[in-house]
């Protein structure tokens, strides 16, 4: 075969490959931008009582802690501007007041549903998944309409949206189509379980089976718990199944596993030791007999879960109790010298509040024995609390909670590593040792 023939065949082969690449690229783009027609045109829920719908929307906005991303500290509610740090740059929550120029005043209820369910603006522009439409797609049309009615009832605030500050190529919005093709599918109309109520009150021994569906709806939808309690890949998409725990990207904290059922090996790691009442108490009060909220979770309680109705808090707890516990992770224990040093430091700085057996004095001072943040695969939370202090959320049940002072300026990296290693491997805890390098990085 002549050289010219080989060249022609190679050119044709290259052309075919390029055409296939273009076709594959086009297919991915289409998959990332398409919408299911039936979901896009989901019928708006009938309005029986407009005032009740607004009240319901206000409750749901609290449950979803919408203000956390859409209200800058000291600013007008829902007028936007709050920074959302990510490994790809900083995004800023937009204005969602009914201002027609800078907010959502010109949006219809269908437009709002499209944003929650499909992750698209009214003009079709793709939204960054820092707005968790990947979870909000599970919200029912009725609840979306209630949220929309509530936001429309707010005072209109004319405040321009702050542009995102993203690194290249993440600032190229059209690339979201390819991300969506790989990581996002709009959900079918979900089952919300029993309707949320503002003043519901149920007995803790009520039928758990009937509330599991409601708890799952809240956890997977407006609660978007997976945002902090699941691992993420290099492109920021959550991976794995359920809520097994993971690093909270951009914040330097670790979201521990929320699986609360018994482990296959018969052990009881993490939330498996918690009762449904313990979990509900942490959500509403910020503290329970098993632990207290701190770091990002304290903010979630302050702005969101403390407003859960008793029935919804218990529903979430019952759903988490239905999830099988993640098996304990094998970890190398620290050396004897590290444990001796940690024990001495614990006796000097920690024992007065957390007690000699790590049992604490809940709810003021949480226990360390069996504490899910202490025994998590990552020591990040324990390190951060020792360095920076621990501050429980202020709630209606505990408006002036106790706090833990920071020890970052008192203890050096080796000291912090030793005391954290000690509490992670004492009183039945078996979470592995901590190095001074890990402490230095946390600083």
- pLDDT for 364 equals 87
Q: What residues have CB less than 8 Å from 411, skipping those under 6 apart?
A: 345, 349, 386, 419
- Model confidence at 205, pLDDT cuts 50, 70, 90, reads very low
Is 70 one of the annotated binding-site residues?
A: yes
- Model confidence at 250, pLDDT cuts 50, 70, 90, reads confident
CATH class of 336-442: mainly alpha
Please tell me whether residue 2 adopts helix, strand or coil conformation: coil
Please tell me whether residue 150 adopts helix, strand or coil conformation: helix
Burial profile 55-89: b = 16 or more Cβ within 10 angstroms, e = fewer: bbbbbbbbbbbbbbbbbbeeebebbbbbebebebb
Domain limits of the chain?
38-183, 211-322, 336-442
- Determine contact, residues 299/71, Cβ cutoff 8 Å: no
What is the four-CA torsion angle of 35, 37, 38, 41, rounded to 10 degrees? Answer: 100
pLDDT over 70 percentage in the chain? 81
The string of pLDDT tens digits covering residues 9-57 is 555 555 555 544 544 455 444 445 566 654 555 666 676 788 999 999 9
Is 224 one of the annotated binding-site residues?
A: no
Whole-number average pLDDT of the chain: 86
- pLDDT for 24 equals 46
- pLDDT for 38 equals 47
Is 66 one of the annotated binding-site residues?
A: yes
Is 229 one of the annotated binding-site residues?
A: yes
Is 228 one of the annotated binding-site residues?
A: yes
User: Within 13 Å of residue 64, how many CA atoms lie on the same side as its CB?
Assistant: 28
Which residue's structure tokens are 């039945």? 428
Beta bridge partner(s), residue 234: none
Separation between Cα atoms, residue 334 and residue 434, nearest integer Å: 8
Separation between Cα atoms, residue 160 and residue 436, nearest integer Å: 45
Is 69 one of the annotated binding-site residues?
A: yes
Is 138 one of the annotated binding-site residues?
A: no
Burial of 247 (0-12, 13-18, 19+ CB in 10 A): middle
pTM: 0.87
Separation between Cα atoms, residue 286 and residue 280, nearest integer Å: 9
Read out DSSP for 260-294? -S--TTS---GGGGS-HHHHHHHHHHSEETTEE--
């Amino acid at each position: 075969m002549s050289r010219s023939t080989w060249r022609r065949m190679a050119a044709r082969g290259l052309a075919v490959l390029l055409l296939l690449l273009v076709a594959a690229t086009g297919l991915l783009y289409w998959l990332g931008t398409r919408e299911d027609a039936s979901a896009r045109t989901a019928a708006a829920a009938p309005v029986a009582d407009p005032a009740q719908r607004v009240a319901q929307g206000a409750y749901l906005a609290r449950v979803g802690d919408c203000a956390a991303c859409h209200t800058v500290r000291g600013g007008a509610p829902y007028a936007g501007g709050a920074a959302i740090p990510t490994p790809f740059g900083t995004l800023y929550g937009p204005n969602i007041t009914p201002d027609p120029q800078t907010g959502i005043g010109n949006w219809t209820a269908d437009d709002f549903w499209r944003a929650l369910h499909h992750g698209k603006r009214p003009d079709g522009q793709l939204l960054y998944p820092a707005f968790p439409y990947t979870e909000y797609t599970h919200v029912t049309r009725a609840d979306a309409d209630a949220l929309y009615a509530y936001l429309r009832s707010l005072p209109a605030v004319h405040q321009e949206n702050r542009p995102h500050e993203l690194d290249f190529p993440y600032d190229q919005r059209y690339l979201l189509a390819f991300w969506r093709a790989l990581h996002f599918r709009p959900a079918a109309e979900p089952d919300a379980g029993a309707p949320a109520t503002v003043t519901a009150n149920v007995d803790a021994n009520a039928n758990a089976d009937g509330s599991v569906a409601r708890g799952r709806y809240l956890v997977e939808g407006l609660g978007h718990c997976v945002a902090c309690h699941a691992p993420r890949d290099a492109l920021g998409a959550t991976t794995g199944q359920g809520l097994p725990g993971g690093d909270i990207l951009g914040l330097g904290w670790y979201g521990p596993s929320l699986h609360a059922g018994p482990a296959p090996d018969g052990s009881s790691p993490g939330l498996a030791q918690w009762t449904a009442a313990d979990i509900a108490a942490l959500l509403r009060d910020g503290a329970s007999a098993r632990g207290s909220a701190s770091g990002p979770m304290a903010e979630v309680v302050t702005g969101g879960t403390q407003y859960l109705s008793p029935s919804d808090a218990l529903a979430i707890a019952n759903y988490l109790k239905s999830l099988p516990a993640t098996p304990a992770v094998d970890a190398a224990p620290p050396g004897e010298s590290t444990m001796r040093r940690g024990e001495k430091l614990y006796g000097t700085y920690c024992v007065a509040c957390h007690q000699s057996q790590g049992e604490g004095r809940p709810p003021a001072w949480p226990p360390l024995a069996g504490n899910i943040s202490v025994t998590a695969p990552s020591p990040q939370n324990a390190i951060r609390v020792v360095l920076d202090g621990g501050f429980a959320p202020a709630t209606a049940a505990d408006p002036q909670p106790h706090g833990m002072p920071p020890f970052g300026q008192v203890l050096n990296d080796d000291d912090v590593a030793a005391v954290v290693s000690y509490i992670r491997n004492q009183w039945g805890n078996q979470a592995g040792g901590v190095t001074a390098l890990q402490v230095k990085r946390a600083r």
